[in-house]
Amino acid sequence: MNTPLRGRLLGIDHGSKVIGLAVCDANWIAARPLQLLVRKTRAADFAEINKIVQQQEVVAVIVGLPDLPADIVATSQASTVQRWASRLAAALNVPVYLWEEGFSTDEAQQLAAETGGRLPDRIDDRAAAVILQSFIDAHPPGLPLPKPVS
């Protein structure tokens, strides 16, 4: 377990067509949606994520991992995300962490509805913010972080 210095985090909601991105402040208080990244190639996607990491001065990346049913070792989607996160970690100069996303899309839709706005076509960036907020809420200052993806 390790505890990195505080700094901005990038949250990712991995999708087959769109990647949702969110960031938090340097003190890990609040996450906010950042943007949607329409998937192209892995190399192009990783280059764009790396550019965002640099622009936003991100110290670590949090990738949402689909929940694993208790009676199943790994689902196809979870395995896909784990492999993708491992490749992303190799392409970045900051640590990458997996974090169970639970029902992030459902929660993002509920939050969007509660704010009175119409639901956008894609809410993956809001789901990324939900994932990221869950991670920062679970890791107050001084609490060790999980092992990063290698």
* 20: Cβ contacts below 8 Å, ≥ 6 apart: 11, 12, 13, 33, 36, 37, 122, 123, 124, 125, 126, 127, 128
Structural domains of the chain, ranges and CATH numbers in brackets: 8-138 (3.30.420.140)
CA dist 117 and 29 (Å) reads: 24
Give the pTM: 0.84
Check whether 85 has a pLDDT greater than 70.
yes
| pLDDT single digits (tens) 104-140 | 455 545 555 555 555 555 678 999 999 999 999 999 8
Is residue 150 pLDDT above 80, yes or no? yes
Confidence of residue 71 (pLDDT cuts 50, 70, 90): very low
Do residues 39 and 45 touch, judged by C-beta distance below 8 A?
A: yes
Structure confidence by residue, pLDDT tens digits, 21-70: 999 999 999 999 999 999 999 999 999 999 999 999 999 999 999 875 54
**Residue 123 has what pLDDT?**
77
- Let me know: does 62 contact 12? Beta carbons within 8 Å: yes
- Cα–Cα distance for residue pair 81/29, rounded to 1 Å: 26
